[in-house]
Protein backbone atom coordinates (compact mmCIF):
# COMPACT_ATOMS: atom_id res chain seq x y z
CA UNK A 1 0.00 0.00 0.00
CA UNK A 2 1.43 3.39 -0.89
CA UNK A 3 -0.30 6.51 0.33
CA UNK A 4 0.71 10.06 1.18
CA UNK A 5 1.76 10.68 4.76
CA UNK A 6 -0.46 12.41 7.26
CA UNK A 7 1.16 15.51 8.79
CA UNK A 8 0.58 15.28 12.49
CA UNK A 9 -0.21 18.33 14.54
CA UNK A 10 -2.11 19.27 17.65
CA UNK A 11 -5.38 19.44 15.67
CA UNK A 12 -5.13 15.72 14.98
CA UNK A 13 -5.28 14.45 18.51
CA UNK A 14 -3.37 11.43 19.77
CA UNK A 15 -5.07 8.97 22.10
CA UNK A 16 -4.03 7.26 25.34
CA UNK A 17 -3.35 4.17 23.21
CA UNK A 18 -1.38 5.82 20.37
CA UNK A 19 2.02 4.64 21.62
CA UNK A 20 0.85 1.03 21.75
CA UNK A 21 -0.91 1.31 18.38
CA UNK A 22 2.30 2.50 16.71
CA UNK A 23 4.31 -0.22 18.45
CA UNK A 24 1.78 -2.72 17.02
CA UNK A 25 2.72 -1.66 13.51
CA UNK A 26 -0.27 0.42 12.39
CA UNK A 27 -0.11 0.89 8.61
CA UNK A 28 -2.91 3.41 8.00
CA UNK A 29 -4.82 5.99 9.96
CA UNK A 30 -7.93 7.98 9.26
CA UNK A 31 -9.01 11.08 11.17
CA UNK A 32 -12.30 11.00 13.06
CA UNK A 33 -13.55 13.72 15.40
CA UNK A 34 -10.18 15.44 14.92
CA UNK A 35 -8.46 12.39 16.37
CA UNK A 36 -6.34 9.52 15.05
CA UNK A 37 -8.28 6.37 14.20
CA UNK A 38 -6.13 3.36 13.20
CA UNK A 39 -7.68 1.66 10.19
CA UNK A 40 -5.20 -0.92 8.86
CA UNK A 41 -2.59 -3.13 10.56
CA UNK A 42 -1.70 -6.01 8.19
CA UNK A 43 -4.02 -5.36 5.25
CA UNK A 44 -7.78 -4.78 5.12
CA UNK A 45 -8.26 -8.44 4.07
CA UNK A 46 -5.97 -9.95 6.71
CA UNK A 47 -7.40 -7.71 9.45
CA UNK A 48 -10.89 -8.78 8.32
CA UNK A 49 -10.10 -12.50 8.48
CA UNK A 50 -8.50 -12.13 11.90
CA UNK A 51 -11.44 -10.07 13.25
CA UNK A 52 -13.85 -12.79 12.13
CA UNK A 53 -11.74 -15.59 13.66
CA UNK A 54 -10.04 -14.39 16.83
CA UNK A 55 -10.15 -11.20 18.89
CA UNK A 56 -8.89 -7.65 18.35
CA UNK A 57 -8.25 -4.62 20.52
CA UNK A 58 -9.27 -1.34 18.87
CA UNK A 59 -8.23 2.21 19.71
CA UNK A 60 -11.59 3.92 19.17
CA UNK A 61 -10.81 6.88 21.45
CA UNK A 62 -12.14 9.00 18.55
CA UNK A 63 -15.63 7.89 19.57
CA UNK A 64 -15.65 10.99 21.77
CA UNK A 65 -18.16 11.45 24.56
CA UNK A 66 -20.30 14.54 24.79
CA UNK A 67 -21.32 14.59 28.44
CA UNK A 68 -24.65 16.20 29.31
CA UNK A 69 -25.45 16.60 33.00
CA UNK A 70 -27.86 18.63 35.08
CA UNK A 71 -31.58 18.94 35.82
CA UNK A 72 -32.50 19.45 32.13
CA UNK A 73 -30.27 16.65 30.80
CA UNK A 74 -33.06 14.16 29.99
CA UNK A 75 -35.19 16.86 28.36
CA UNK A 76 -32.24 18.01 26.25
CA UNK A 77 -31.43 14.45 25.13
CA UNK A 78 -35.01 13.98 23.90
CA UNK A 79 -34.71 17.23 21.92
CA UNK A 80 -31.80 15.72 20.02
CA UNK A 81 -33.35 12.44 18.84
CA UNK A 82 -36.61 11.00 17.48
CA UNK A 83 -35.90 7.80 19.46
CA UNK A 84 -38.16 7.68 22.54
CA UNK A 85 -35.82 7.80 25.54
CA UNK A 86 -38.54 7.76 28.20
CA UNK A 87 -38.08 4.06 29.04
CA UNK A 88 -34.30 4.02 28.85
CA UNK A 89 -32.79 2.19 31.83
CA UNK A 90 -29.75 3.31 33.74
CA UNK A 91 -27.48 0.57 32.37
CA UNK A 92 -28.51 0.98 28.74
CA UNK A 93 -26.91 2.21 25.53
CA UNK A 94 -29.23 3.30 22.72
CA UNK A 95 -28.34 3.80 19.07
CA UNK A 96 -29.77 7.29 18.59
CA UNK A 97 -30.16 9.07 15.24
CA UNK A 98 -29.80 12.79 15.99
CA UNK A 99 -31.47 15.32 13.71
CA UNK A 100 -31.83 19.05 13.12
CA UNK A 101 -35.10 20.96 12.70
CA UNK A 102 -35.49 19.68 9.12
CA UNK A 103 -35.07 16.05 10.20
CA UNK A 104 -31.58 15.93 8.66
CA UNK A 105 -29.07 13.62 10.28
CA UNK A 106 -26.48 15.45 12.41
CA UNK A 107 -24.88 12.35 13.91
CA UNK A 108 -25.71 8.73 14.78
CA UNK A 109 -24.20 8.26 18.24
CA UNK A 110 -24.69 5.72 20.97
CA UNK A 111 -26.26 7.35 24.02
CA UNK A 112 -25.40 5.96 27.46
CA UNK A 113 -27.55 6.80 30.45
CA UNK A 114 -25.22 7.11 33.45
CA UNK A 115 -27.75 8.65 35.86
CA UNK A 116 -31.19 10.26 35.61
CA UNK A 117 -29.42 13.57 35.03
CA UNK A 118 -26.22 12.43 33.31
CA UNK A 119 -25.63 11.01 29.80
CA UNK A 120 -22.74 10.28 27.48
CA UNK A 121 -23.36 10.80 23.78
CA UNK A 122 -20.73 8.67 22.04
CA UNK A 123 -20.48 10.57 18.79
CA UNK A 124 -19.74 9.71 15.19
CA UNK A 125 -17.67 12.09 13.06
CA UNK A 126 -19.35 15.49 13.35
CA UNK A 127 -19.03 18.35 15.85
CA UNK A 128 -22.27 17.59 17.65
CA UNK A 129 -21.02 19.43 20.75
CA UNK A 130 -21.58 22.80 19.05
CA UNK A 131 -25.20 22.04 18.14
CA UNK A 132 -25.90 20.88 21.69
CA UNK A 133 -24.22 23.91 23.24
CA UNK A 134 -26.23 26.17 20.93
CA UNK A 135 -29.49 24.61 22.06
CA UNK A 136 -28.47 24.90 25.70
CA UNK A 137 -27.58 28.57 25.35
CA UNK A 138 -30.53 29.51 23.19
CA UNK A 139 -33.07 27.74 25.38
CA UNK A 140 -31.33 28.60 28.67
CA UNK A 141 -31.28 24.96 29.75
CA UNK A 142 -29.87 23.97 33.10
CA UNK A 143 -27.17 21.56 31.98
CA UNK A 144 -23.43 21.41 31.58
CA UNK A 145 -22.12 20.12 28.27
CA UNK A 146 -18.52 19.22 27.59
CA UNK A 147 -16.20 16.61 26.13
CA UNK A 148 -14.57 14.77 29.05
CA UNK A 149 -11.37 12.89 28.29
CA UNK A 150 -13.01 9.49 27.89
CA UNK A 151 -11.47 7.11 25.36
CA UNK A 152 -13.28 3.93 24.37
CA UNK A 153 -11.15 0.84 23.78
CA UNK A 154 -13.05 -1.87 21.89
CA UNK A 155 -12.49 -5.62 22.19
CA UNK A 156 -14.13 -7.26 19.16
CA UNK A 157 -14.31 -10.71 17.65
CA UNK A 158 -15.62 -14.21 18.46
CA UNK A 159 -13.12 -14.63 21.32
CA UNK A 160 -13.93 -11.26 22.93
CA UNK A 161 -15.90 -12.80 25.81
CA UNK A 162 -13.04 -15.11 26.75
CA UNK A 163 -10.44 -12.35 26.64
CA UNK A 164 -12.56 -9.87 28.60
CA UNK A 165 -13.41 -12.50 31.25
CA UNK A 166 -9.70 -13.00 31.90
CA UNK A 167 -9.19 -9.27 32.58
CA UNK A 168 -12.52 -8.24 34.15
CA UNK A 169 -13.84 -11.55 35.51
CA UNK A 170 -16.69 -13.78 34.41
CA UNK A 171 -19.31 -11.09 35.18
CA UNK A 172 -18.60 -9.55 31.75
CA UNK A 173 -20.29 -12.59 30.20
CA UNK A 174 -23.57 -11.52 31.83
CA UNK A 175 -23.60 -8.05 30.24
CA UNK A 176 -26.40 -8.07 27.67
CA UNK A 177 -26.24 -6.46 24.21
CA UNK A 178 -26.22 -2.66 24.47
CA UNK A 179 -26.08 -2.77 28.28
CA UNK A 180 -23.13 -1.83 30.43
CA UNK A 181 -21.67 -2.61 33.85
CA UNK A 182 -19.18 -0.67 35.93
CA UNK A 183 -16.20 -2.93 36.58
CA UNK A 184 -12.90 -2.32 38.35
CA UNK A 185 -9.55 -2.34 36.60
CA UNK A 186 -6.52 -1.68 38.79
CA UNK A 187 -8.83 -0.26 41.44
CA UNK A 188 -10.53 2.13 39.05
CA UNK A 189 -14.18 1.72 38.00
CA UNK A 190 -14.70 1.66 34.22
CA UNK A 191 -17.87 1.52 32.14
CA UNK A 192 -17.82 -1.73 30.14
CA UNK A 193 -20.56 -2.14 27.50
CA UNK A 194 -21.45 -4.97 25.15
CA UNK A 195 -21.31 -2.93 21.96
CA UNK A 196 -18.93 -2.02 19.17
CA UNK A 197 -18.63 -1.16 15.51
CA UNK A 198 -18.51 -4.72 14.18
CA UNK A 199 -20.97 -7.60 13.82
CA UNK A 200 -18.54 -10.08 15.44
CA UNK A 201 -19.59 -9.33 19.02
CA UNK A 202 -17.58 -7.74 21.77
CA UNK A 203 -17.22 -4.94 24.25
CA UNK A 204 -16.26 -1.32 24.61
CA UNK A 205 -14.35 -0.11 27.68
CA UNK A 206 -14.71 3.61 28.38
CA UNK A 207 -11.28 4.64 29.68
CA UNK A 208 -11.81 7.86 31.61
CA UNK A 209 -8.25 8.26 32.87
CA UNK A 210 -5.44 8.80 30.35
CA UNK A 211 -2.86 6.92 32.47
CA UNK A 212 -4.96 3.74 32.42
CA UNK A 213 -4.75 3.44 28.64
CA UNK A 214 -1.43 1.63 28.37
CA UNK A 215 -1.89 -0.64 31.44
CA UNK A 216 -5.29 -1.74 30.10
CA UNK A 217 -3.91 -2.33 26.60
CA UNK A 218 -1.03 -4.35 28.07
CA UNK A 219 -3.32 -6.39 30.33
CA UNK A 220 -5.49 -7.38 27.37
CA UNK A 221 -2.49 -8.41 25.29
CA UNK A 222 -0.87 -10.34 28.16
CA UNK A 223 -4.11 -12.21 28.87
CA UNK A 224 -4.86 -12.92 25.22
CA UNK A 225 -1.62 -14.29 23.86
CA UNK A 226 -3.01 -17.80 23.36
CA UNK A 227 -6.24 -16.32 21.91
CA UNK A 228 -4.12 -14.73 19.17
CA UNK A 229 -5.17 -11.20 20.20
CA UNK A 230 -4.04 -8.45 17.83
CA UNK A 231 -4.48 -4.73 17.36
CA UNK A 232 -7.21 -3.83 14.89
CA UNK A 233 -9.75 -1.20 14.04
CA UNK A 234 -13.14 -0.78 12.45
CA UNK A 235 -12.82 -2.83 9.28
CA UNK A 236 -14.21 -1.46 6.03
CA UNK A 237 -15.09 -4.85 4.53
CA UNK A 238 -16.72 -6.25 7.66
CA UNK A 239 -18.77 -3.13 8.38
CA UNK A 240 -20.09 -2.93 4.81
CA UNK A 241 -21.05 -6.61 4.89
CA UNK A 242 -22.87 -6.04 8.18
CA UNK A 243 -24.51 -2.78 7.11
CA UNK A 244 -22.99 -0.59 9.81
CA UNK A 245 -23.39 2.95 8.53
CA UNK A 246 -20.67 5.58 8.60
CA UNK A 247 -21.76 9.17 9.18
CA UNK A 248 -20.22 11.50 6.60
CA UNK A 249 -19.83 8.60 4.17
CA UNK A 250 -23.16 6.81 3.86
CA UNK A 251 -25.30 9.63 5.25
CA UNK A 252 -25.11 13.36 5.88
CA UNK A 253 -27.36 16.23 6.92
CA UNK A 254 -29.07 15.75 3.53
CA UNK A 255 -30.65 12.51 4.77
CA UNK A 256 -33.45 11.70 7.18
CA UNK A 257 -33.17 8.69 9.52
CA UNK A 258 -35.83 6.96 7.39
CA UNK A 259 -33.70 7.29 4.27
CA UNK A 260 -30.85 5.77 6.27
CA UNK A 261 -32.94 2.74 7.20
CA UNK A 262 -32.95 3.94 10.81
CA UNK A 263 -36.73 4.25 11.01
CA UNK A 264 -36.77 1.37 13.52
CA UNK A 265 -34.88 3.62 15.94
CA UNK A 266 -37.44 6.44 15.63
CA UNK A 267 -40.63 6.70 17.69
CA UNK A 268 -41.28 10.20 16.47
CA UNK A 269 -44.91 10.28 17.69
CA UNK A 270 -43.85 9.84 21.31
CA UNK A 271 -40.51 11.64 21.09
CA UNK A 272 -42.08 14.79 22.48
CA UNK A 273 -39.68 17.72 22.34
CA UNK A 274 -37.50 16.37 19.52
CA UNK A 275 -36.40 19.39 17.50
CA UNK A 276 -36.99 17.55 14.21
CA UNK A 277 -40.31 16.03 15.25
CA UNK A 278 -42.65 18.06 13.00
CA UNK A 279 -40.43 17.59 9.96
CA UNK A 280 -40.09 13.85 10.56
CA UNK A 281 -43.81 13.35 11.20
CA UNK A 282 -44.41 14.94 7.82
CA UNK A 283 -41.93 12.73 5.94
CA UNK A 284 -43.10 9.62 7.83
CA UNK A 285 -46.58 10.01 6.29
CA UNK A 286 -45.33 9.53 2.73
CA UNK A 287 -42.23 7.51 3.54
CA UNK A 288 -38.80 8.10 2.00
CA UNK A 289 -38.32 8.11 -1.78
CA UNK A 290 -34.75 6.81 -1.52
CA UNK A 291 -33.16 4.55 1.03
CA UNK A 292 -29.90 2.93 2.09
CA UNK A 293 -29.38 -0.40 0.41
CA UNK A 294 -26.74 -3.04 0.27
CA UNK A 295 -25.37 -3.82 -3.20
CA UNK A 296 -23.23 -6.52 -4.77
CA UNK A 297 -21.06 -5.04 -7.54
CA UNK A 298 -19.83 -7.55 -10.12
CA UNK A 299 -16.31 -8.00 -11.43
CA UNK A 300 -12.78 -7.64 -10.11
CA UNK A 301 -11.95 -6.16 -6.70
CA UNK A 302 -12.65 -2.43 -6.54
CA UNK A 303 -10.68 0.08 -4.51
CA UNK A 304 -12.39 1.91 -1.67
CA UNK A 305 -15.10 4.39 -2.61
CA UNK A 306 -13.43 7.73 -1.99
CA UNK A 307 -16.21 9.68 -3.66
CA UNK A 308 -19.78 9.07 -4.77
CA UNK A 309 -20.26 6.48 -7.51
CA UNK A 310 -23.40 7.08 -9.54
CA UNK A 311 -25.89 4.23 -9.92
CA UNK A 312 -27.79 3.94 -13.22
CA UNK A 313 -30.67 1.94 -14.65
CA UNK A 314 -31.63 2.26 -18.32
CA UNK A 315 -29.31 5.26 -18.58
CA UNK A 316 -31.05 7.15 -15.78
CA UNK A 317 -29.39 7.97 -12.47
CA UNK A 318 -31.22 6.14 -9.69
CA UNK A 319 -28.82 6.43 -6.78
CA UNK A 320 -25.25 6.44 -5.57
CA UNK A 321 -22.78 4.16 -3.86
CA UNK A 322 -21.03 5.62 -0.82
CA UNK A 323 -18.93 2.70 0.50
CA UNK A 324 -17.48 -0.36 -1.25
CA UNK A 325 -14.91 -3.09 -0.71
CA UNK A 326 -14.02 -6.56 -2.00
CA UNK A 327 -15.42 -9.25 0.30
CA UNK A 328 -13.29 -12.41 0.48
CA UNK A 329 -16.16 -14.36 2.10
CA UNK A 330 -18.89 -13.37 -0.37
CA UNK A 331 -16.49 -13.25 -3.34
CA UNK A 332 -18.01 -10.06 -4.69
CA UNK A 333 -17.67 -6.34 -4.14
CA UNK A 334 -19.97 -5.42 -1.27
CA UNK A 335 -21.32 -1.89 -1.13
CA UNK A 336 -23.65 0.50 0.62
CA UNK A 337 -25.58 3.15 -1.30
CA UNK A 338 -28.66 5.33 -1.42
CA UNK A 339 -31.14 4.03 -4.03
CA UNK A 340 -34.35 5.59 -5.35
CA UNK A 341 -37.57 3.71 -4.58
CA UNK A 342 -38.10 2.74 -8.22
CA UNK A 343 -35.03 0.49 -8.01
CA UNK A 344 -34.66 -0.43 -4.33
CA UNK A 345 -36.42 -3.82 -4.45
CA UNK A 346 -34.35 -6.90 -3.67
CA UNK A 347 -32.66 -8.30 -6.76
CA UNK A 348 -32.96 -5.17 -8.95
CA UNK A 349 -30.17 -5.02 -11.54
CA UNK A 350 -28.39 -1.69 -11.87
CA UNK A 351 -25.08 -0.30 -13.14
CA UNK A 352 -22.49 1.47 -11.03
CA UNK A 353 -20.03 4.01 -12.45
CA UNK A 354 -16.76 3.12 -10.71
CA UNK A 355 -13.26 4.51 -11.33
CA UNK A 356 -12.66 1.15 -13.11
CA UNK A 357 -15.57 1.75 -15.47
CA UNK A 358 -19.23 0.77 -15.55
CA UNK A 359 -20.05 -2.38 -13.54
CA UNK A 360 -23.24 -4.38 -13.26
CA UNK A 361 -24.63 -4.68 -9.73
CA UNK A 362 -27.56 -6.09 -7.76
CA UNK A 363 -29.54 -4.20 -5.13
CA UNK A 364 -30.22 -6.20 -1.96
CA UNK A 365 -32.75 -5.65 0.80
CA UNK A 366 -30.62 -7.38 3.44
CA UNK A 367 -26.97 -6.89 4.26
CA UNK A 368 -24.35 -9.61 3.86
CA UNK A 369 -24.77 -11.78 6.94
Q: Which residues of this chain interact with ligand THG, rule CB under 6 A?
A: 63, 95, 108-110, 122-124, 152, 178, 195-197, 204, 244-245
Q: What does the alpha-carbon distance between residue 158 and residue 161 come to, in Å, rounded to a whole number?
A: 7
Q: What does the alpha-carbon distance between residue 26 and residue 20 come to, in Å, rounded to a whole number?
A: 9
Strands 290-297 and 105-107: unpaired
What percent of the residues of the chain are helix, what percent strand, and what percent coil, each to the nearest 5?
Answer: 25, 35, 40
Nearest distance, CB of residue 92 and ligand THG, angstroms: 10
> Which C-beta is closer to ligand THG: that of 123 or that of 325?
123
> Which C-beta is closer to ligand THG: that of 54 or that of 63?
63
Nearest distance, CB of residue 97 and ligand THG, angstroms: 10
Contact 253, 101 (CB under 8 A): no
> Which C-beta is closer to ligand THG: that of 152 or that of 157?
152
Nearest distance, CB of residue 233 and ligand THG, angstroms: 12
Q: What does the alpha-carbon distance between residue 118 and residue 68 come to, in Å, rounded to a whole number?
A: 6
> Which C-beta is closer to ligand THG: that of 177 or that of 314?
177
> Which C-beta is closer to ligand THG: that of 62 or that of 136?
62
> Which C-beta is closer to ligand THG: that of 62 or that of 212?
62
Q: What does the alpha-carbon distance between residue 285 and residue 183 come to, in Å, rounded to a whole number?
A: 45
Give the contacts of 7 (CB within 8 A, at least 6 positions apart).
none
> Which C-beta is closer to ligand THG: that of 224 or that of 234?
234
Nearest distance, CB of residue 211 and ligand THG, angstroms: 21
Nearest distance, CB of residue 23 and ligand THG, angstroms: 24
Nearest distance, CB of residue 240 and ligand THG, angstroms: 13
Give the contacts of 213 (CB within 8 A, at least 6 positions apart).
15, 16, 17, 20, 151, 153, 207
- Distance, first Cα to last Cα, the chain: 28
DSSP secondary structure letter of residue 263:
G
Put the strands of the sheet holding 110-115 in their side by side order. Answer: 93-95, 110-115, 118-122, 65-69, 144-146
Nearest distance, CB of residue 265 and ligand THG, angstroms: 7
Distances (CA, A) of 231 to 33, 186, 214, 315, 363: 21, 22, 13, 45, 34
Q: How many CB atoms lie within 10 A of CB 182?
A: 11
Give the contacts of 243 (CB within 8 A, at least 6 positions apart).
261, 292, 294, 336, 367, 368, 369
> Which C-beta is closer to ligand THG: that of 343 or that of 364?
364
Q: What does the alpha-carbon distance between residue 338 and residue 251 come to, in Å, rounded to a whole number?
A: 9
Contact 51, 200 (CB under 8 A): yes
Amino acid sequence: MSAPLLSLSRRIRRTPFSGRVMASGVKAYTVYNHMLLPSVFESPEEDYRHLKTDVQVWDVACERQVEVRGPDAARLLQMLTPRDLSKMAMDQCYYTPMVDETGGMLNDPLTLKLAEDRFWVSIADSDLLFWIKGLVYGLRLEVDVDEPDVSPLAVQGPKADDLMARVFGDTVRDIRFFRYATLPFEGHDLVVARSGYSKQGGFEIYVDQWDLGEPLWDALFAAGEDLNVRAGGPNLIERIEGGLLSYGNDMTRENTPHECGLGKFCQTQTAIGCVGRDALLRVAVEGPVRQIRSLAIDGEALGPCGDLWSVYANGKRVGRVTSAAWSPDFETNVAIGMIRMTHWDDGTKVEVETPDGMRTATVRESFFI
